[in-house]
Amino acid sequence: MMHGKTVVTLAAGGAFAAIMVGMAFASPGKPLASKPNIGSFGFDETGMDRSVAPGDNFAEFAGGGWVKRTEIPSDKPSFGAFDTLADLSQLRTRALLEAAAKNPRSKIGRAYAAYLDTAAIDAKGIAPIQPWLARIKSLTSKADYVALAIEASRIGVAVPFGTGVSTDAKNPDSYVVSVRQAGLGMPNRDYYLSPDPKLQATKAAYQGHIARMFTLAGEPDAEARAKAVVDFETQVAQAHWTNVQSRDADKTYNKMSVAQLAELTPGFDFATYLKGVGTPTDTVVVGQPSAVAGIAKVIADAPVAVLRDQLLIRSLDEFASVLPSAFDKENFAFFGTQLRGTPQQALRWKRAVNWTSAAVTDEVSKIYVAKYFPPATKAAADTLVKNILAAMSARIDKLEWMAPETKAAARAKLANFTPRIGYPSQWRDYSALEIKAGDAFGNQLRANRWAHNYNVTKLGKPVYRWEWGL
């Protein structure tokens, strides 16, 4: 089955919108075009499967031929038309980052080169992460756990609750602190609770993965400790809402005071935690109240050693790609192959492009659009969209079958349409983010901290209308 990706966002590190305006497909040995290369248009009939009656299965009739002859690349879990755009963007971004890496003053160049240098990463062993692991292993009380969870959240290590600052769903002119269920190493509760043999096998593989990561880190009793972590997460999963329940916009919007949240979760000191992560607030929106309460009870009942080990595996998995290759390979073996069915890990340069694009997104995007989507092209695209909107407005005015009140509603909806072409009107400022040459682990640690700080400092400010949320 094909699951084509439809992500067309600047934040993925490649200004895909620029490609969609006019793209030039690259082939091995040919230079990448820096200007739009307008190709053919229309429906590709060679991708059809005319042996299938359209009334029986229109999807196969229209695209079955393409599906049959297209092989999913070994480093991807799926492949679709938008992956072709992503691959082109990745090639272009690689060329830009390779050039930047030759300049020691380039922040994105240093970030890319450090991530790419696996020899240096391997040579350091686990020394870079040892201070953080030592802090985790010094945990002796539930009070210490809250303090440690605060620091974990600040550096991108997942804890059993998801918190952050986001636009208030029922008041889009303001930001609000959200609290939601989290704490699972696998995608959702079904992976822990379902009797399905495949999911049960995945759960067993997950426990094996944890044990192997602990062993790589030099931890004793890896098997028993891995089982205890999975047992803990299974209890957390029992408290979780289902995916369907979590998609209910009304049921997942529960605004309450921090005092009310404290009453709901006596097993976890949320007041201290929220202040510690940089979101001091009187009001929060809780996504899944019963789940958050249930997770707090699981934490309250859990041995400190298990809480410690769950933070340990979350940390090792978070930083696996910037730890020695054995950690990286083990992480991919479970999350890439076991969970997603991807046979082969992507080449390091591809991952370096993706990592750099995620860590310093706007810095990469700036140089991308400067080369492939210059201001004149953006202006032309903006004009095109304005003309389309004007034509739609004129058409609404001329519709004889539409009632006046319906026309008014249509015009109001059209007036609220905000086109976003190519790239945002302003860029995020990364001047506070330190990127060091040859320090892949430290760069990820600092990039995670920067991203956390960027998010929480939105609280109390006007909503960043210029920021793209794609």
Q: What is the pLDDT of residues 187-224, one digit of tens each?
A: 999 999 999 999 999 999 999 999 999 999 999 999 99
**Does 49 lie in the same domain as 179?**
no
Report percent pLDDT > 90 for the chain: 87
What confidence score (pLDDT) does residue 81 get?
Answer: 83
Q: Please report where in the chains the tokens 């998010």 appear, as a residue.
A: 455
- Do 134 and 69 share a structural domain? no
Rounded to 10 deg, the angle between the 304-318 and 197-216 helix axes is: 90
33 and 93, same domain (yes or no): yes
Is 195 part of any domain?
A: yes
Closest CA to 433 of 48, 30, 107: 107
pTM for this predicted structure: 0.89
Which pair of tokens denotes residue 370?
Answer: 């400067």
Asked if residue 210 and residue 77 are part of one domain, the reply reads no
Q: Taking a C-beta distance cutoff of 8 angstroms, is the pair 129, 315 a contact? A: yes
**Count: domains in the chain:** 3
Amino acid 10: pLDDT: 32
- 274 domain-assigned: yes
CATH number assigned to the domain comprising residue 167? 1.10.1380.10
Amino acid at 423: Y
Quick check: 23 pLDDT over 60? no
DSSP state of 221: S
* Mean pLDDT, the chain, integer: 92
Cβ-Cβ contacts under 8 Å for 429 (sequence gap 6 or more)? none
Read off the pLDDT of residues 41-95 as tens digits, 9 standing for 90 and up.
Answer: 778 899 999 999 999 999 999 999 999 999 999 999 999 989 999 999 999 999 9
* Exposure string for 203-225, b = 16+ CB within 10 A, e = fewer: bebbbbbbbbbbebbebeebeeb
User: CB under 8 Å to 9, separation ≥6 — which residues?
Assistant: 16, 17, 468, 470
355 vs 207: CA distance, rounded Å: 27
418 — pLDDT class (breaks 50, 70, 90)? confident
For residue 424, being part of any structural domain is answered with no
* Confidence tier at 37 by pLDDT (50, 70, 90): low
In a shared domain, residues 48 and 136: no
pLDDT digits over 269-305, tens only?
Answer: 999 999 999 999 999 999 999 999 999 999 999 999 9
Is residue 456 in a domain? no
For residue 410, give its domain range: 375-415
168 and 284 together in one domain: yes
Bridging pattern class, strands 283-286 and 171-181: parallel
**CA gap 436, 229 in Å, rounded:** 34
- Residues 89, 174, single domain; the answer is no
Decide if pLDDT at 15 tops 70. no
Q: Provide Rg for the chain, Cα atoms.
A: 25
Q: What is the pLDDT of residues 144-160, one digit of tens each?
A: 999 999 999 999 999 99
Compute the average pLDDT of residues 101-111. 98
Supply the pLDDT for residue 89: 96
Q: How far apart are CA 187 and CA 258, in angstroms?
A: 28
Q: Which two tokens stand for residue 399?
A: 């519709």
Instruction: Find residue 256's DSSP bridge partners.
Output: 284
How far separated are the first and last CA of the chain, in Å rounded? 25
User: What is the b/e burial string over 345-381, where b = at least 16 CB atoms within 10 angstroms of the residue's CB?
Assistant: bbebebbbbbbbbebbbbbbbebbbeebbeeebbeeb
The whole-number pLDDT of residue 33 equals 53
Q: Using CA atoms, how far apart are residues 15 and 365, in angstroms rounded to an integer?
A: 6
Say which amino acid occupies 283: T
**146, 149, 150, 155 alpha-carbon torsion, rounded to 10°:** 170
pLDDT tens by residue, 341-393: 999 999 999 999 999 999 999 999 999 999 999 999 999 999 999 999 999 99
432 is a domain residue: no
